[in-house]
Structure 1
């Protein structure tokens, strides 16, 4: 199992809340995150790796390029 975190973003793009998840891989993490982010903007991360971006009611979208922060 790997640790993932979904960050929920407010209207200004600031983090308003987060949910920790333990998943087997990126695909399972994306599916788990969908349950939490259906009506909010969010980002799914595994440590310093951006996995997906969620727009309210849409997504997941892949991150632009292969970014690591």
Structure 2
């Protein structure tokens, strides 16, 4: 299992909350983080590596 963190982004793309997740791989982490999108953008990171960004308005996922 790898440690990931999902950042819930607020105004001006500043993080307002961080959620720690232990997931098997990137796809599992992306699936888990996607459920957190609720009116705010979400960024998914593994240590210092950006994994994905979820846009709340368009519903798109941008994989890094």
Task: In structure 2, list runs of 5 or more residues that go unmatched.
Answer: none
Q: Give, in angstroms, the shift of residue 59 of structure 1.
A: 2.7
- RMSD of Structure 2 on Structure 1 (CA): 1.2
Q: Give, in angstroms, the shift of residue 9 of structure 1.
A: 0.7
Residue number in structure 2 paired with 1:61: 62
Q: Give, in angstroms, the shift of residue 60 of structure 1.
A: 1.9
Q: So what's the TM-score if we normalise by structure 1?
A: 0.83
Q: Give, in angstroms, the shift of residue 11 of structure 1.
A: 2.0
Q: So what's the TM-score if we normalise by structure 2?
A: 0.88
Task: In structure 1, list runs of 5 or more residues that go unmatched.
Answer: 64-69
Matched-pair contact (CA < 8 Å) for 2:45–2:51: yes
Give the length in aligned residue pairs: 63
Runs of 4 or more above 3 Å deviation: none
Q: Give, in angstroms, the shift of residue 49 of structure 1.
A: 0.4
